């Protein structure tokens, strides 16, 4: 049937101006032109604005928590207020910042550019996902304004379903709806990667960032629905009294933990895989090296995505799992560390004999590798049952996952932001300030969370605001670190905004990078490329430069204006 189809000219793609207006100009400057855009680049920016807002909301919450913890008797919060603040911090940071952070912003902006496509597969669905996110955010904001939630970000039953008097319904509904936004984005990215690669862009020529976003999308699509269902069951129990997890009717509250962690462990990889993709782009570019073990990096990404689905039980070593289940989950948790370690080794090997320069993205990326390694190694402590039993629900665990999610993912988010800022905005930022902020962020992070490892190991439980005085020194150190960290997060807000108005104009390829996204003007035209590029080489062909030749872009260079 399909051969009789007209040689269809691509949809509505207009050929209006040969001048190639940038995506910031085309379509106009009005607010409506942004709110109704289906351009993946603009949607990426819409997401960036929304998640930045929530990053600071959740940041304020934890700022108050850290302030409260300066004194062992507490300073100004009641027990209930304290519970609500750290729950707010966790829920908002995880679902309204970290999960969408890199995929929905940089993934949206760069996935089509890096594979040589004009847009994502379903542009309107892409915009819809942003509005769904806003709807979810509305629920979350309502939950916050109406008094907050006190369940922690984990919504454990039967507390969440039967006893909590917080706004569990609104918060759970918010997270439930946010899940659909994630799934829509995931479906879109998977289809885009399968269907819209430029000629010559084979699977084994994809930049690792694309692989990472692809794998993340698969995890999102397969894990998020389980979270949605488990929250729906809580909602059913709270709202309609349908007893799914109620022990009085023979229900099993532990079942909720299984469902929750079946999503929430893979969710850790939703947050860290895109970060790993960013690091591969940045390291190769600033070491002027081909990535070490390209194929192995891909298998490592896929290995993490797959094995990550089978380790959830390590969150439940003390929940009464059978000994046999504990052993299996422990073993699998050790196994999932192998591909992560491969990635760290390969990044290190990529640097070897490279000509390394320390531009801001590189400094952030190196911070990532250090912090991620520390978070990963302490993850091995936690995979080992005896140690996990010892440190369950202590600050050791808190420090571990913050090293991964904040030290890892947020550092990588900033690496990506600085790496691609000239492409996104067409402006250059102040290199000196950016490097300064990167160093401050690394130091601030460590002084916040290193003490938490120590106090956790020596017995400080998480989620308490009244504690024995011997832990005060660690808490004060941690709170001071948080202040430094806050400064480090505010700085980019200032110098990046400044660069928008006063920054130098960025050339198409300021880093002399090989990716397709750099072979189009900065900022890119509305449909990304004047013509679809043709790809004839592997990514990261920086080597020839070391022998005096030019680096080799992945596709034909198309000059800007």
Partner 1 sequence: MSDDPSVVQFPWPTVARQREGVAFGMWTFLGSEILFFGGLLLTYAVYRTLYPQAFNSGSAATDIFYGTINTALLLTSSFIMTMALRGSESGSRGVVAACMLTTAAFGLAFLAVKGLEYAEDIDKHLVPGPHFPLHPPARLFFAFYWVATGVHAIHLLVGILVAVFLGIRVALRQMAPESTAIEAASLYWHFVDSVWIVLYALIYLPGRSGA
Binding site for partner 1 (CB under 8 A): 1-2, 4-13, 112, 117-123, 183, 186-188, 190-191, 194-196, 221-226, 228-230, 232-233, 236-237, 240-244, 248-252, 255, 259, 262, 527
Select 77 or 337, whichever has its Cβ closest to Cu ion.
337
Residue 322, binding choice from Cu ion, partner 1, none, Cβ under 5 to 8 Å by partner class = none
Select 188 or 284, whichever has its Cβ closest to partner 1.
188
Of 256-275, binders to Cu ion (CB under 5 A) are 265
Residue 12, binding choice from Cu ion, partner 1, none, Cβ under 5 to 8 Å by partner class = partner 1
Q: Is there binding between residue 118 and Cu ion (CB under 5 A)?
A: no
To partner 1, the closest distance from the beta carbon of 218 in angstroms equals: 9
Select 71 or 392, whichever has its Cβ closest to Cu ion.
392
**What is the rounded CA–CA span in Å between residue 345 and residue 343?**
5
Residue 552 β-bridge partners: 541
Select 255 or 484, whichever has its Cβ closest to Cu ion.
255
**What is the rounded CA–CA span in Å between residue 158 and residue 257?**
10
To partner 1, the closest distance from the beta carbon of 317 in angstroms equals: 20
DSSP state of 557: -
Q: Scanning the structure block, which residue is given the tokens 């050790």?
A: 334
Select 234 or 300, whichever has its Cβ closest to partner 1.
234
Select 41 or 265, whichever has its Cβ closest to Cu ion.
265
Please give the C-alpha separations between residue 35 and each of 27, 29, 39, 426, in angstroms, as whole numbers: 11, 11, 11, 22
**Other beta carbons less than 10 A from residue 246's beta carbon:** 17
To partner 1, the closest distance from the beta carbon of 237 in angstroms equals: 8
Residue 541 β-bridge partners: 552
Do 433 and 488 contact (CB within 8 A), yes or no? no
**Other beta carbons less than 10 A from residue 431's beta carbon:** 13
Number of residues binding to Cu ion, judged by CB under 5 A: 1
CA torsion 16→19→22→24, rounded to 10°?
Answer: -70
To Cu ion, the closest distance from the beta carbon of 233 in angstroms equals: 21
Tokens read off for 368: 């990532």
Select 256 or 286, whichever has its Cβ closest to partner 1.
256
> Please, what is the end-to-end C-alpha distance for the chain in angstroms?
42
Select 6 or 19, whichever has its Cβ closest to partner 1.
6
Residue 369, binding choice from Cu ion, partner 1, none, Cβ under 5 to 8 Å by partner class = none
Residue 265, binding choice from Cu ion, partner 1, none, Cβ under 5 to 8 Å by partner class = Cu ion
**What is the rounded CA–CA span in Å between residue 446 and residue 482?**
9
To partner 1, the closest distance from the beta carbon of 201 in angstroms equals: 14
Select 72 or 225, whichever has its Cβ closest to partner 1.
225
Rounded to a whole number of angstroms, the CA Rg of the chain reads: 24
Residue 224, binding choice from Cu ion, partner 1, none, Cβ under 5 to 8 Å by partner class = partner 1
Select 246 or 392, whichever has its Cβ closest to Cu ion.
392
Q: Which residues does 83 contact at the CB level (< 8 Å), separation at least 6? A: 150, 152, 463
Burial class of residue 174 (count of CB atoms within 10 Å of its CB; 0-12, 13-18, 19+):
buried
Pairing mode of beta strands 504-505, 427-428:
antiparallel
Select 149 or 397, whichever has its Cβ closest to Cu ion.
397
To partner 1, the closest distance from the beta carbon of 251 in angstroms equals: 6
Of 298-317, binders to Cu ion (CB under 5 A) are none
Please give the C-alpha separations between residue 504 and each of 184, 245, 370, 431, 524, in angstroms, as whole numbers: 37, 59, 32, 12, 17
**What is the rounded CA–CA span in Å between residue 94 and residue 79?**
23
Of 489-518, binders to Cu ion (CB under 5 A) are none
Select 221 or 483, whichever has its Cβ closest to partner 1.
221
To Cu ion, the closest distance from the beta carbon of 312 in angstroms equals: 6
CA 309 from centroid of its chain's CA atoms? 18
Closest CA relative to residue 414, chosen from 105, 73, 202, 38: 105
**What is the rounded CA–CA span in Å between residue 308 and residue 333?**
8
To partner 1, the closest distance from the beta carbon of 179 in angstroms equals: 9
**What is the rounded CA–CA span in Å between residue 492 and residue 430?**
10
Select 67 or 162, whichever has its Cβ closest to partner 1.
162
Residue 295, binding choice from Cu ion, partner 1, none, Cβ under 5 to 8 Å by partner class = none
To partner 1, the closest distance from the beta carbon of 183 in angstroms equals: 5
To partner 1, the closest distance from the beta carbon of 213 in angstroms equals: 14
DSSP string, 198-250: PTT--GGGS-HHHHHHHHHHHHHHHHHHHHHHHHHHHHHHHHH---SS-GGGT
Q: Scanning the structure block, which residue is given the tokens 């939950």?
A: 143
To partner 1, the closest distance from the beta carbon of 465 in angstroms equals: 34
To partner 1, the closest distance from the beta carbon of 307 in angstroms equals: 18
Residue 465, binding choice from Cu ion, partner 1, none, Cβ under 5 to 8 Å by partner class = none
SS3 457: helix
Tokens read off for 488: 């480090």
To partner 1, the closest distance from the beta carbon of 194 in angstroms equals: 6
Positions of E strands within 238-384: none
**Residue ranges binding Cu ion (CB under 5 A):** 265
């Amino acid at each position: 049937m399909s051969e009789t189809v007209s040689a269809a000219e691509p949809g509505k793609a207009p050929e209006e101006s040969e001048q190639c207006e940038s995506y910031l100009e085309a379509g106009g400057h009005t607010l409506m032109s942004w709110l109704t855009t289906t351009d993946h680049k603009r949607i990426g920016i819409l997401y960036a604005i929304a998640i930045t807002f929530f990053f600071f909301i959740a940041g304020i919450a934890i700022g108050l928590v850290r302030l409260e913890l300066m004194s062992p008797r507490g300073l100004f919060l009641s027990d209930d207020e304290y519970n609500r603040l750290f729950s707010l911090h966790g829920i908002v940071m995880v679902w309204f910042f970290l999960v969408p952070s890199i995929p929905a912003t940089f993934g949206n902006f760069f996935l089509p550019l890096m594979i040589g496509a004009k847009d994502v597969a379903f542009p309107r669905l892409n915009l819809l996902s942003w509005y769904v996110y806003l709807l979810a955010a509305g629920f979350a904001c309502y939950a916050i304004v109406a008094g907050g939630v006190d369940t922690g970000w984990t919504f454990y039953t039967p507390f969440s379903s039967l006893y909590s008097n917080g706004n569990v319904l609104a918060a759970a509904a918010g997270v439930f709806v946010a899940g659909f936004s994630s799934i829509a984005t995931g479906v879109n990215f998977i289809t885009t990667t399968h269907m819209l690669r430029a000629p010559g862009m084979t699977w084994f020529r994809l930049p690792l960032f694309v692989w990472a976003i692809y794998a993340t999308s698969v995890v999102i699509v397969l894990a998020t629905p389980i979270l949605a269902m488990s929250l729906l069951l809580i909602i059913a129990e709270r709202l309609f009294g349908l007893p799914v997890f109620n022990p009085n009717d023979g229900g099993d509250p532990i079942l909720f933990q299984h469902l929750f962690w079946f999503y929430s462990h893979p969710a850790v990889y939703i947050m860290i895989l895109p970060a790993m993709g960013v690091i591969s782009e940045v390291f190769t570019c600033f070491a002027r090296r081909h990535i070490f073990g390209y194929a192995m990096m891909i298998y490592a990404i896929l290995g993490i995505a797959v094995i990550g689905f089978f380790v959830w039980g390590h969150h439940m070593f003390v929940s009464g799992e059978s000994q046999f289940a504990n052993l299996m989950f422990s073993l699998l948790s050790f196994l999932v560390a192998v591909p992560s370690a491969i990635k760290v080794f390969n990044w290190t090997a990529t640097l070897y004999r490279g000509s390394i320069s320390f531009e801001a993205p590189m400094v952030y990326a190196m911070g990532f590798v250090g912090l991620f390694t520390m978070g990963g190694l302490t993850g091995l402590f936690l995979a080992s049952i005896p140690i996990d039993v010892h440190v369950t629900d202590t600050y050791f665990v808190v420090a571990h996952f913050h090293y991964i999610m904040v030290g890892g993912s947020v550092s990588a988010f900033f690496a990506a932001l600085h790496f691609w800022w000239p492409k996104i905005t067409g402006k250059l930022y102040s290199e000196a300030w950016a490097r300064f902020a990167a160093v401050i962020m690394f130091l601030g992070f460590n002084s916040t969370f290193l003490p938490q490892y120590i106090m956790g190991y020596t017995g400080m439980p998480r989620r308490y605001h009244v504690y024995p005085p011997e832990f005060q020194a660690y808490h004060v150190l941690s709170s001071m670190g948080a202040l430094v960290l806050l400064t480090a997060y505010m700085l980019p807000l200032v110098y990046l905004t400044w660069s928008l108005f006063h920054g130098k104009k960025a050339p198409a390829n300021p880093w002399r990078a090989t990716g397709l996204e750099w072979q189009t003007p900065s900022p890119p035209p509305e449909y990304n490329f004047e013509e679809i590029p043709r790809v004839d080489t592997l990514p990261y062909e920086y080597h020839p430069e070391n022998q005096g030749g030019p680096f080799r872009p992945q596709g034909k260079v198309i000059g800007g204006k």
